[in-house]
Structure 1
Amino acid sequence: MSSSATAYMINGFDPSNADMLSAQEQDLVARRRALLGPSYKLFYEHPVHVVRAEGVWLYDPQGNAYLDVYNNVPSVGHCHPRVVEAISRQSAILNTHTRYLHEDILRYSEDLLATYPDEISNVMFTCTGSEAVDLALRIARYYTGGTGIIVTANAYHGLTTAVAEISPSMGPNVPIGQHVYVVEAPDDYRNGRAEIGEVFAERVANAIKDMKRHGIKFAGFIADGIFSTDGILTDPPGFLKKTLDVVHGAGGLYIADEVQPGFGRTGTHWWGFQRHGIVPDLVVMGKPMGNGMPIAGVAAKPEVLERFGTDIRYFNTFGANTVSIAAAQAVLDVIKGERLMENAVKIGGYMLEGMRGLQKKYEAIGDVRGAGLFLAMEFVTDRHSKTPDPKLSLNVVNQLREKRMLISASSSTGHVLKIRPPLPFTQEHADMFISGLDDVLAKLS
């Protein structure tokens, strides 16, 4: 990516290199910019043109298949037939909002909340994860009477004005909110696994003290339990318990952002926060909920939601519309019926083993980690200094793209491979990916 770019995105296409593309691709890029404006970004040095998808595969106009090792939105696989059928059937019957009585939203809510700890028994629906985070912030601030929010240093939580203010990864041109405090993420690779829980909890405690010193009342802490944009920091399970205690001790709410780790992706649990043995006050859900259909939500402890719900009328015209609910119900049923969580444990473990084999082979791989089908490979200039090597990481991402295998990168510098395939990934797919990754690393070494 050109250093002159004003809106840098890790693993983003540099429009100044458009002359390297085919005539058709140049035309599409030019029309995108003319019609959509400059904010819309493309992945990869060589953007991918896709026209259809099925399962874990994306296809270009020439029929070439690309192995999807990245997209968590189609969590049960692209165009899953049960989800497609549910959407088609419901759209031919009724598509309306939540101000009429309807059985489907209640049945889905019961099934969804059954995956949560007993303490969380309410759910409110939105269209997008950004809306859900926005709603969670409103609830937390109303409940506590505070305004201060704590996030991690490269967090991403969404795109609304309020949520962009708690998303440092959006870059320097998107200011962090005046009452938003940033703490370094819990990196056990650098800070030591045994101490990481205490270290991170102390960072949060110090941020709360700093807020109070500046006359700001603490409202809440928000993080996803796998720290997806901070570098995919998964270990050791349980290290967030002390942070929860600190947050509650200061009168704040703990908000778990489950847009990326949720819906069984970690394999051992439905939700990322469950790996840490904690029960948050609010939980945000998004993209994978409807396999790409616009549905998201906030699950909550009822005592946290009570006053907000009583005092403030909430309505979202398209949130939990009957077609999106049908899609969400199908997704939940498929995860259970096709035992996709068990598959995430099995295949995720298999991929982790293969990646650790590559770590023994290539000195540039400083660390390999993951939970279920959410995996990371961290590149460093040398293992002693652990200096991040984003150049190598992005070269790997783009070389894999040329082999028609799609992943992306994470962390503030992009030195960590972000590996997050749809949940029906098989051992055959894993072998293809590990082999391709080995070939690319051998070439770049």
Structure 2
Amino acid sequence: MTDRPVGPSTYFRPEHSAGLDARTRELIARRDHAMGGAYRLFYRQPVEFVRGAGTKLYSADGEEFLDAYNNVPSVGHAHPRVVAAIAAQAALLNTHTRYLHPAVIEYSERLLATMPAGIGHVMLTCTGSEANDLALRIARDATGSTGAIVTSYAYHGVTIATANLSPSLIGADAVEPWVRVVPSPVVDPAAFVDGVRAAIASLDAAGLGLAALFVDTVFSSDGVQASGTFLGPVAELVRAAGGLLVADEVQAGFGRMGHGMWGFERHGIVPDAVTFGKPAGNGMPIAGFAARDAVIDGFGAHQRYFNTFGGTPVSVAAAQAVLDVIEGEGLIANAAAVGDRLSAAVRGLDAPEIGDVRGVGLYYGIDIVDSSGGPDEPLALAVVNGMRDRRVLIAASGPHNHTLKVRPPLPFDDADADRFVAALADTLEATRN
């Protein structure tokens, strides 16, 4: 296990308590006592939120914050259509999927219609972690192999299995022997392809074989990479080795890239399987795994799957409403248009601290660099906290924690983009003084 804490270091630490008000210090102390040290709080000055609306969050003391980070409420905080759907269904019925209910069937059909024709079945879970855990289980069943490949700073979940697919969570040196970690394509796409080739050979040499390569199609924790042709040759390598290419769409999916519904479309590939999560229900627990018919049919022929809360009528009602809102409010086109405006404005800032800006739609990674052009984690953290002080919420990502992660709710508009860029410019200026 690595001695350095893994994951973004924008977290609150005990030494930050001194300047906080009495109520905040009390809540933090109670939280630590009741919930333990594994939980983290964002920002040196944590925020207590009491409500949200659209792209805004409101603190206990009435301050309005612009949410440029949270992709859980993908169609906006407390969207009226989603809220109404949840309330109406909760007043009627909420139970598991062992009873017939047309809504869960209709949602599954509708979701599959957004995917390539080869993806024919979907299985519903509560979380993205469960979806990726199920993907690994089914990939092992389909291939007869046990090995998995992930990128060097990937995040795919918090179960025992998916934590081992998440070097950003536990550290690359802590993954189990059935996992191979390869360079991400953020810095060098060719090294990613070569790494996958070498990892397949290593798994074969160990007698494990390749069950699946898992890729977050926006490579969020690796520092964000939304474009490129590198996944095509990697898919060929994986399939030649008998494995499955699993596209993890928990962060990239549901129109966030402004280029179709799914991140893999941007890369010009058709994966063997797709997992999705957080944005599906706008905060309600619904996620899932979809794959080619043969993959799931083979698994279902001799194994049983059941998830008590995966696909309940209330969660499905929320998920159906999310699709209605994405389509009815033109949120994919909005992500493309506002994202273009946002990225152009960020790139146009006279700010030597900004290095590469990667992303598309409403998902960006903005590198913060020092005078030599190298990663500057302390400055990135100062920017994250400075933006929080200006009531704009972002976080840091990447192996050096120097990449600002920007992924607002999909209704983010031009005024929100202008507010974000103004706050970023002001924050960077303040760091120079």
TM-score normalised to structure 1 length: 0.94
1:366 aligns with 2:355: yes
Give the one of 194, 202, 205 matched to 2:194.
202
Q: Does 1:64 align with 2:55?
A: no
CA contact (8 A) 1:165 1:174 kept: no
Asked if structure 2 preserves the Cα contact closer than 8 Å seen for 1:56 and 1:421, the reply is yes
Partners of 2:163 and 2:170 within 8 A in 1:
no
**Aligned-partner Cα distance in 2 for 1:144–1:227:** 25
How far is 1:7 from its partner?
A: 6.7
Which residue of the partner structure matches residue 296 of structure 1? 287
TM-fit CA distance, 1:6: 5.8
Structure 1 pair 332–174 and aligned structure 2 pair: CA distance change class (3 A): farther
SS in 2 for 1:157: coil
Which residue is 2:418 aligned to? 431
Give the structure 1 partner of residue 138 of structure 2. Answer: 139
Amino acid of the structure 2 residue aligned with 1:413: H
Superposition CA RMSD, Å:
1.6
Q: Does 1:213 align with 2:212?
A: no
| Residue 366 of structure 1: how far off its partner (Å) | 1.4
| Cα displacement string for residues 300-332 of structure 1 (whole angstroms, at most 9, x for unaligned residues) | 110111110111010001110000000000001
Aligned residues: 431
Residue correspondence of structure 1 range 59-98 to structure 2 within 5 A: 59-98=58-97
Q: Is the 8 A contact 1:370 1:376 kept in 2?
A: yes
Match of 1:312 in 2: 303
Q: Is the 8 A contact 2:247 2:264 kept in 1?
A: yes
Counterpart amino acid of residue 154 in structure 2: A
Determine the structure 1 residue equivalent to 2:370.
Answer: 381
Q: What aligned pairs does 1:107-256 form with structure 2 within 5 A after superposition?
A: 107-172=106-171, 175-187=174-186, 190-191=187-188, 196=189, 198-236=190-228, 238-256=229-247
Which of 344, 349, 363 is residue 340 of structure 2 equivalent to? 349
Q: Deviations over 1:168-203 (max 9, x none)?
A: 00134982121100001002xx43xxxx3x442221
Within the candidate set 259, 263, 266, 2:250 is matched to 259
* Structure-2 separation of matches of 1:301 and 1:295: 21
Aligned partner of residue 174 in structure 2, secondary structure:
coil
Secondary structure in structure 2 of the residue aligned to 1:345: helix
SS in 2 for 1:104: helix
Over 3 Å counting, the alpha-carbon distance change for 1:148 and 1:7 in structure 2 is: closer
Q: Secondary structure at the match of 1:202?
A: helix
**Tell me, what secondary structure is at the counterpart of 1:34?**
helix
The aligned amino acid for 1:232 is V
Structure 1 residues 74 and 8 mapped into 2: Cα distance closer, same or farther (>3 Å)? Answer: closer
Query: What is the CA–CA distance in structure 2 between the aligned matches of 1:61 and 1:44, rounded to whole Å?
Result: 16
Aligned to 1:398: 385
SS at match of 1:121: strand
Aligned partners of 2:222 and 2:399 also within 8 Å: yes
- In 1, the alpha carbon distance for the partners of 2:106 and 2:330 equals 21
Structure 1 position 399, deviation (Å): 0.2
Unaligned runs of 5+ in 2: none
Distance across 2 between alignment mates of 1:378 and 1:126? 34
Q: What residue number does 1:286 align with?
A: 277
TM-aligned CA deviation for residue 108 of structure 1: 0.8
Deviation, structure 1 residue 215:
2.1
Give me the whole-angstrom Cα distance separating, in 1, the residues matched to 2:122 and 2:351: 47
**What do residues 214-240 of structure 1 show as CA deviations (whole Å, max 9, x unaligned)?**
22211110011110000001233x331
Between the aligned partners of 1:171 and 1:111, the Cα distance in structure 2 is 36
Q: Note closer, same or farther for the CA distance 1:245–1:8 as it changes in structure 2 (3 Å cut).
A: closer
**Displacement of 1:9 after TM fit?**
4.2
What is the CA–CA distance in structure 2 between the aligned matches of 1:414 and 1:9, rounded to whole Å? Answer: 6
The AA in structure 1 aligned to 2:251 is: Q
Distance in 2 (CA, whole Å) between partners of 1:227 and 1:8 is 14
Q: 1:398-421 CA deviation, whole Å, 9 max, x = no partner?
A: 000000000001101210000000
Q: Are the counterparts in 2 of residues 154 and 411 from structure 1 also a CA contact under 8 Å?
A: yes
User: Are the structure 2 counterparts of residues 64 and 161 from structure 1 closer, same or farther at C-alpha, using a change threshold of 3 Å?
Assistant: same
Looking at structure 2, the residues matched to 257 and 6 of structure 1 have their Cα atoms a distance apart, in angstroms, of: 25
Q: Please give the alpha-carbon distance, in whole angstroms, between the structure 1 residues aligned to 2:301 and 2:221.
A: 35
Which amino acid letter does the alignment assign opposite residue 422 of structure 1? Answer: P
Task: Note if contact 1:366-1:382 (Cα within 8 Å) is conserved in structure 2.
Answer: no
Q: Is contact 1:407–1:418 with CA below 8 Å preserved after alignment? A: yes
How far apart in 1 are the matches of 2:335 and 2:416? 13
Q: Which runs of 4+ in 1 moved over 3 A?
A: 3-9, 171-174
Give me the whole-angstrom Cα distance separating, in 2, the residues matched to 1:402 and 1:201: 41
Structure 1 pair 284–4 and aligned structure 2 pair: CA distance change class (3 A): closer
The 3 A distance-change label for structure 1 pair 8 and 99 is closer
Identity %: 50
